[in-house]
């Protein structure tokens, strides 16, 4: 599954997959017309997520230009990557999910 692209939101299959918080003091946090705020802090930060991220000079993952968890399809993508990551680490002491 490839990372979803930014665009207009489609009707979510279930209401728990999308919410928008326009009263947030950081709104808008990305240059998008509609932002899914469910994953405000991306749970994919510790893994190679397939999103548009870079490394700072200090070696820190910079996700500021990525909107993967905030666009339509982002919920399903995040859940799939987390499931794969959890399965890959099963049994070796690296379980974080």
Which residues, at least 6 apart from 60, have a Cβ–Cβ distance to it below 8 Å?
none
pLDDT tens, residue by residue, 26-42? 887 777 788 888 888 88
Which residues, at least 6 apart from 14, have a Cβ–Cβ distance to it below 8 Å?
none
Stated pTM of the model: 0.62
> Per-domain residue ranges for the chain?
16-90
Q: Is 47 in contact with 81 (CB distance < 8 Å)?
A: yes
Please give the pLDDT value at position 2. Answer: 63
Instruction: Categorize the per-residue pLDDT at 97 as very low, low, confident or very high, splitting at 50, 70 and 90.
Output: very low
């Amino acid at each position: 599954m490839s990372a979803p692209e930014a665009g207009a939101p489609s009707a979510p299959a279930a209401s728990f997959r999308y919410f928008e918080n326009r009263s947030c003091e950081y709104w808008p946090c990305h240059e998008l017309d509609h932002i899914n705020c469910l994953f405000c802090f991306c749970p994919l930060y510790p893994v190679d997520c397939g999103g548009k991220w870079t490394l700072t000079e200090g070696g820190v993952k910079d996700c500021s230009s990525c909107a993967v968890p905030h666009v339509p399809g982002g919920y399903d993508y995040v859940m799939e990557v987390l499931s794969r990551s959890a399965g890959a680490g099963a049994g070796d002491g690296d379980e974080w999910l």
